[in-house]
Structure formats: C-alpha cells, structure tokens
Homo-oligomer: A and B are copies of this chain.
Amino acid sequence: MPATLTGIRVYDVRFPTSRTLAGSDAMHPDPDYSAAYVVLATDSPGLEGHGLTFTIGRGNELCVAAVRSLAPFVVGQRLEDITADFARFWYRLTADGQLRWVGPEKGVLHLATAAVVNAIWDLWARAEGKPVWKLLADLTPEQIVSCVPFRHITDALTPDEALEILRRQAPSRAEREQELLAKGYPAYTTSAGWLGYPDEQVLALSREAVAQGFDAIKMKVGEDLEADRQRARLIREAIGPGRRLMMDANQRWDVPEAIAWMRELAEFDPWWIEEPTHPDDVLGHATIARELSPIGVATGEHCANRVLFKQLLQAGAIRFCQIDACRLGGVNEVLAVLLLAAKFGVPVCPHAGGVGLCEYVQHLAMFDFIAVSGSMENRVIEYVDHLHEHFLDPVVIRAARYQAPARPGYSIAMKPESLATYAYPDGPVWRDLASQARGMA
C-alpha cells in the first residue's frame, strides 16, 4: 500500500524511576528512564509508524529537539522510495553536509536518528502486516544488503561478504523460524542486581529469578570492591555454580583499574565483564580482554556506531557484542553490526532494559538467529522487568525466554494514556512531583 510521510510528532516522556533506584549503576546513580518518542503520520488511513530513543532523564529534551531537526529529511518522502534504497535514505539522515558536523553518527543526533529510522521500520512492518523480525526474515539477502550502510566498514566487511553470510543461512531459515516460534529466545535478567538495592533485596530477587527459570543473571559492580565481593558471593550462592553470572561496570574504570578489580572478582566465575571502561576505548577493551581471559569482555550499549563495533571486533576486544536498538542509528546500522559480528564469529547479546529496549531488541536477536548467525549458542537477550505495562504489545517472557512477537510493527507503540501521564514536564506525574518538591521546600 503506497504511503507518503506527512508529519512527525515527537513527545518527551519520562518515568520517575530514580525514586526506586531501579536502573542504578556505578555511573548513573539516579536514572529517570525516558524516551524521545516519535510518531510518523502518513496519508494512508490508519497507518502510522512509532519509534523512540531511550535516555535516562536530563538530555531527553535534546533528543526531542534533534528529531525536529531531522523532520525535514523525512516529511514528504514516500515509504516505498525509502525502502527501495534504504541505505541511501539512511545516509540522507546521517550524512547531511551541515547536520553531520554535530555528530557525526554519535550522541544526541544519532540517538534521534534511531528514533526516526526505527519509526520507519515500524511503519514498513505495519504496512506489510508483519512484526519487524518477520519482515526482515522474509527479505532476500540482496534486499537486506540494500538496507545496510557499508560506508567506512568495507575494510572489515564488503557487501559481497555480507551477501555470502546471508545466502549461507537462507536455505535453513524456515527451520529456525519454526524453532523460534516453538521455543522462544533465551533471556537473562538484570532486575536483581541494581547497585542501589540492599543485599537482602538482591538475594531475594536472585532466588526469584532462579525460580522463574533464568540461567543467567547480571549484577552491577564498580563502586566499592568489598561491596561487590559481598554481593557477588550472595548471588553466586543463590544461583549455584551451574548458572551464569555477569558483571557490569558501566564504564566506571580506567584500564588498569578494570584489570585489577576484576581479578579480585574472578573467584565468582563471571561469564563476562560489561563496559569495563570508556565506551570509545577500543584499545583499552582489547587490553582488558587479553588480561582477563577467560572472563569475556562485553560492550555496546554506548558504542556509538558501526565503525566502533568494527574496531572492537577487529581488535579482538569483545567476546560479546551488545547491540543497542537506539544507540546505533536504527535497524539499518544494527544490520551492519549483526553482519560484522557474524563475520568475526562473535555472538550478539543485545542490551535491553531501559524503556522499550526489550520490546525493540527481541526483533533484532530473532532475525539474527533466523538469517545471520543461525545460532542461539552463547546468546542471550537482556531482560528487565519494568515499564512494559506502558506498551501496547509488550514483551512476553515464558520460562526465561522471549516469545516471538506476532503483531505487526516493532512492538514499540506506547499506550496514549502513558504518553499523556508521563509527559515531561507538564504531565500529571511530573506536575505532582514538582508540587510535592515545592511543598517540601
């Protein structure tokens, strides 16, 4: 069905999560999970595209503003023209001769790009009547490659190599789709180990996670070594030696500190250490990976673009590739990283949590399984058990596995009442908090 994009609406939505310390870590002690939320209107009755970019509070207003700066590149375009040469459209957004100066392909502008690009994928999937994972899984290798921005990564992956990877998996796609529909995709939980939680809560939540069937659990580390040791011991005891324990430092350390600190925690047998240092430090991650093996290094939620992922892979710096659905510039750039990871034989374990990230990344991991890597081995999707109630098509976890979404789109559309209630700064929740704060002052 032909559709022309007629307008963009953008919302500043924030949830006051800092009041419960859910989401707290060594660098982000008081996040208010937030989204710059985008709705693309079209001239086709009932057809809209939804997308968001995730932030943790202050700064969300900048992503909202950046979506407005990108609007002229989108409004007036026809969906079929975009999808016919999607990489070209992606460059229109990311390589504008003026706008790219305030990126390029990083920070506020790239986060906003993701919201817009993902909204287009949502729109395309709705127009096709498929969830995004299925839309992707039904594209030919050639169609997929036409969506991928190869610029600045051809030294590591050429379009021909990408085609070869996709063609190798094509004959067995249907089999894996059946397996996915029957069994779902494995998840791990981060909900037990937030840094702001007291030990008893961590212990209770760890036991609960095990009871729910989780084989892998992640804790936050990096603020206080003794406290980390104490909590790691508690969790390891709760989950037993056979389950996986991951640790996440959220960029807290310098390189030598990361190595020294994790040697102290090695006795708890961590499967990976996530974000041990600055997200731009490819060589630092490579050094840490060498020094800490067999503990794997994982990173990606702050990895700005495919060029950084390319280098992490080239340098042997990561054993787990943690794509983020909106840190990268939307589905197109994620495809580039899935293909790079497949080429280098590194499993993709998406970053999720936040608000809407679980909803997003399930599609990406499922497509990766069906058409790119062809494997679920050593692969898990992060899962955090909050804020799903705001979505019209929330994730479904059964026996610690993500169930494949069935509804058309990217599962990211929020309930209109949530958009209204949590609108920042004028929605009722924020007005109430502001008046409480005035009352206390």
Contact = CB atoms under 8 A, between A and B. Distances in A.
Contacts of A98: 28, 30-32, 55-59
16 contacts: A28-B97, A29-B97, A30-B97, A30-B98, A55-B102, A58-B69, A59-B98, A60-B102, A62-B108, A63-B102, A106-B304, A155-B254, A280-B307, A282-B311, A283-B314, A284-B307
A178 to B, nearest CB: 39
A204 interface: no
8 nearest CB pairs, A to B: A107-B107, A57-B98, A59-B102, A155-B255, A108-B108, A58-B98, A152-B278, A59-B99
Contact of A280 (B155, B251, B277, B280): B280
Interface in A251-273: 251, 254-256
Given A255-B155, A280-B307, A311-B282, A97 B59 contact: no
A59 B95 CA distance: 12
Interface string A96-116: 111111111111111100000
B254 A151 contact: yes
Given A280-B304, A283-B315, 4 more contacts: A27-B97, A59-B69, A281-B307, A284-B307
Grouping DSSP codes into helix (H, G, I), strand (E, B) and loop, the A interface class, with mixed when no group exceeds half, is: loop
Nearest to A151: B254
Residue of A62, A99, A103, A106 most packed against chain B (CB within 10 A) = A62
Contacts of A151: 254
B101 A56 contact: yes
A203 B102 CA distance: 32
Interface string A412-439: 0000000000000000000000000000
Nearest to A55: B101
A292 interface: no
